[in-house]
Amino acid sequence: MSTTTASPASHGASTDRSNASFARAAMLHLAERRMAPTPENYTQAWVAVGGPHTPVDPVVQEHDRQSRRVRRAERLVAELTEMVKTLCDTVDTLAEDERWVRGQIDALREMLAGEIDHVSVAELRALLSRTSDMQRHIAEQRRRALAQLKSTLVELATVLSGLMASTDQYGRRITEHAALIQGASSLASLSDTVQRLLDDTRTMQADVVQSHEGLKRGQDAAHALEREVSRLEEQLAAASAEIVTDHLTQTMNRRGLEDSFTGAQARARQSRQALALALVDVDDFKKLNDALGHAAGDDALRHLATVLKERLRPTDAVARYGGEEFVILLPGANLSDAQDTLVRLQREMTRHVFLFDAHRRFITFSAGVTSVRPDDTLLAAVARADDAMYRAKREGKNCVRVG
């Protein structure tokens, strides 16, 4: 008589089903007695229904499963990120002479250096899609330019060959005409020879003009294609800058701010000069949105961004930090200088009335300023400016405080 032994897998599955049955019974036990499903009550119910061992809280089990999924997803994201970085390095090496390719690669690296979320992935996919489309267009234009150049060279060779043949023939005719002129015995015969000489000269001139016009057409076509390729390459290079630009206000976005902050901080350390950071927040922005609508809110943000960019120095930097908040970097400015600059900007805002659909509004903002320390991160500097800005909000708005 043979004995069948259950496999570990089937034993595990049987145990899972048994545990699931006891878990349902325990939850029913709690429901019948109107007991809260706390871990302690669940343990008592498990024992009461005859559970074989101390149960594992199903909430804890589900949390563990979710945690494992999250860890697997994080590992997958990390591996995919490293793979994209490797692809960036490879493409950058293969296309080191292409300015617009390097711009796209730098933009991808900027995105990968930040926090990866579904928004970042969507931006990355959109950037790659635009890059691919434009690169295909450029490749097609380059093929057309190369074909046109080849055609022009073939035409040039044909024209030169024809000109050489015409020149040889014209040279022989000139020699013959010269001999006839030399041996002319009468004015009539000399006149006929001169007329034939003029006819040959006009023919030669027409051949030269026709050849020149053909070459000029080919050259113009080649130059037009070359200009189109250059335009597309410039457009693609400009697309790299879009990844660090806020589309609504045309100021920098957070990614652009991070890059600008790192550069300004390094220059401040090297030159031992001050660097200030200000956080600006529009006052009563929600009331404006509720009263006039989101379109008015967008226009108000564009209005503020325009005033800030026009009234700041070229060395200063403005970035939309989120919502109605803007960050301003002020190289070479100490706290007193930064505070004076922000107060001046507030006054400028009162001189520029915001108009939307015949509605006139004064846009004001509260601001906090702080000095950037050599070891500061962007988040640390913004946090201090944020604390100072909220003090300005509490103390009446439309003012500047130092943090």
**Contact of 319 with 246, CB cutoff 8 Å:** yes
Phi-psi domain of 211 (left: phi exceeds 0; alpha: psi -120 through 50; beta: other): alpha
Closest CA to 373 of 219, 231, 269, 299: 269
Task: Indicate if 310 belongs to the active site.
Answer: no
Instruction: Give the C-alpha separation, 68 to 73, whole Å.
Output: 9
**Amino acid in the structure at residue 119:** V
The helices-and-strands tally (H runs, E runs) of the chain is 11, 7
Q: Are strands 359-361 and 365-371 parallel, antiparallel or unpaired?
A: unpaired
Annotated catalytic residue within 98, 233, 324, 325 = 324
Instruction: Give the C-alpha separation, 106 to 84, whole Å.
Output: 12
**Contact of 359 with 292, CB cutoff 8 Å:** yes
**Contact of 55 with 35, CB cutoff 8 Å:** no
Buried b (16+ CB within 10 A) or exposed e, 68-104: eeeeeeeeeeeeeeeebeeebeebbeeeeebebbbbb
Which residues have a Cβ under 8 Å from the Cβ of 215 and sit 6 or more positions away?
152, 155, 156, 159
Q: Is 46 exposed, middle or buried (0-12, 13-18, 19+ CB in 10 A)?
A: buried
Which tokens sit at 401? 């405080």
How crowded is the C-beta side of 321, counted as CA atoms within 13 Å?
A: 22
Instruction: Give the C-alpha separation, 22 to 46, whole Å.
Output: 7
Question: Which backbone phi and psi does 361 adopt, to 5 degrees?
Answer: -140, 145
Sheet containing 325-331: order of strands: 317-322, 325-331, 275-282, 365-371, 400-402
**Contact of 163 with 211, CB cutoff 8 Å:** yes
Positions annotated as catalytic residues are 324
